Structure 1
Amino acid sequence: MREAERLDWDIALYLEAKGVRPSCRAGCFYCCYPWVTLSRLEAEAIRPHLTPAQKERVLREGPRRLALLRERKDDPGFPGWFFQKAFQEGTPCPLLEEGLCGVYPHRPLACRGVLTESDPERCRPDAPQPSAYLQPPLRMARLRMEALWEEERARYGFLVLGEVAGLLYLLERLPKEKEEAVALLEGLGVLGGRWGYQVV
């Protein structure tokens, strides 16, 4: 995916120019508990690289996250609540493998922009002094996401945004026509609201 390569390059140039050394390391995965949004094109790029175990976890976790979203998509505090809940229950991203991202070269753009110089323990949701993520990589990731959204609109005529596990779970059932995609997501009760799926 071109946008992922460009983002990685942009972030590497920024870190080098600023002399910034992120504290993020293999085995540190507190950032794998929050709610992560991606587009259909990102999900399509990830899906072929899933292991059988990851596919099985997506089949379990996708419906569960859709149900949570159906109940709480209008709750302003939903992302923070979800982060705490996932951490307490020990249910990180279903793509995680033994503390490492199992699709690291293909991970979502949103994940690529999450970096910190802080002590990784401050990335825990229950940390007394939460970590501050580096803002330039987050902004770079957002810009690349927006470019990919335009590519998706050009390819399909519309854009679908949703949470990683739920969208991977729904991907094979996701219609190619906008009205049908809207009907599917409305029928599941996950379309719209503050945090629900978006079809644009």
Structure 2
Amino acid sequence: MTPEEAWRALDQDLADYLARKGVAPSCRAGCFACCYGLVSLSRLEAKALLPHLTKAQKARLLEEGPRRLALLAQGKDQEDFPSRFFRSRTPCPLLEGGLCGVYAHRPLACRGLLTQGDPSLCAPEAKAPKGHFLPVPWRMARLRMEALWEEEQRRFGFLVLGELAGLLYLLLTGLPEDRPGVEAKLQALGVLGGRWGFQVV
């Protein structure tokens, strides 16, 4: 399975599920509170996203990537790091004028985060109540992610998982192809392992 096939399959699965259950997500264009969160994806999915990036998007990633990696190095072992990062209101570098600049090619993790509640409760300061985000779409996205992880292991012999901006930055600037090289690079940056750091499996 390719990332593109996984994206299309999840979109179809989500549409079928929502129609069958009569659920209408309240997520709309211009609603982008979730774009402040930490998004993780695999190297395979990140590589599929790269050809769709504009020159301006790449420039923002080259600027934001080192900052994200430095934050991750400081917080990867801290339990509340994702929530603290979310509350810092640091937008995804692919967010443009309140819209996803790569919407058709956005990661599976983004596709599976849906709500039918008040979108204002998605904001970092709102502290969304339990059950605000729909659990089934997220589980469906997670299954597609796991399928891609297995595909990456088949293709490369190992899997690399990491934060979106940091991983795209590393791919743009040169991430080694071999496992020892990848691990050495991530270790040198201080982002390998821990609770929220990059994982090499």
One fold, TM greater than 0.5? yes
Q: Over residues 66-93 of structure 1, what are the superposed CA-to-partner deviations in whole Å (9 max), with x where a residue is unaligned?
A: 00010110000011000001x1xxx310
AA at the equivalent of 2:167:
L
Candidates 29, 33, 37, aligned match of 1:34: 37
TM-score calculated relative to the size of structure 2: 0.95
- Distance in 2, Cα, partners of 1:180 & 1:127: 41
Hey, what does 1:184 align to over in structure 2? 185
Hey, what does 2:104 align to over in structure 1? 105
Hey, what does 1:13 align to over in structure 2? 16
When residues 75 and 106 of structure 1 are mapped into structure 2, their CA distance, relative to the original with a 3 A threshold, is same
Candidates 22, 44, 47, aligned match of 1:44: 47
- Distance in 1, Cα, partners of 2:168 & 2:127: 34
**Considering only aligned residues, what root-mean-square deviation do their CA atoms show, in Å?**
1.0
- Distance in 1, Cα, partners of 2:145 & 2:183: 21
Aligned pairs, how many?
A: 196
SS of the residue 1:162 aligns to: strand
Alignment of 1:170 with 2:178, yes or no, is no
Hey, what does 1:92 align to over in structure 2? 91
SS of the residue 2:176 aligns to: coil
Higher mean displacement: 99-108 or 170-179: 170-179
Higher mean displacement: 113-122 or 126-135: 126-135
SS of the residue 2:113 aligns to: coil
Hey, what does 1:150 align to over in structure 2? 150
When residues 128 and 42 of structure 1 are mapped into structure 2, their CA distance, relative to the original with a 3 A threshold, is closer
**Structure 1 residue 40, shift from structure 2 partner:** 0.4
Hey, what does 1:53 align to over in structure 2? 56
**Structure 1 residue 143, shift from structure 2 partner:** 0.3
**Structure 1 residue 176, shift from structure 2 partner:** 1.1
SS of the residue 1:126 aligns to: helix
Unaligned ranges ≥5, structure 1: none
**Structure 1 residue 127, shift from structure 2 partner:** 1.1
**Structure 1 residue 192, shift from structure 2 partner:** 0.2
**Structure 1 residue 129, shift from structure 2 partner:** 4.8
Alignment of 1:67 with 2:109, yes or no, is no
When residues 16 and 182 of structure 1 are mapped into structure 2, their CA distance, relative to the original with a 3 A threshold, is same
TM-score calculated relative to the size of structure 1: 0.95
**Structure 1 residue 42, shift from structure 2 partner:** 0.9
Unaligned ranges ≥5, structure 2: none
Hey, what does 1:199 align to over in structure 2? 200
Name the % identity: 65
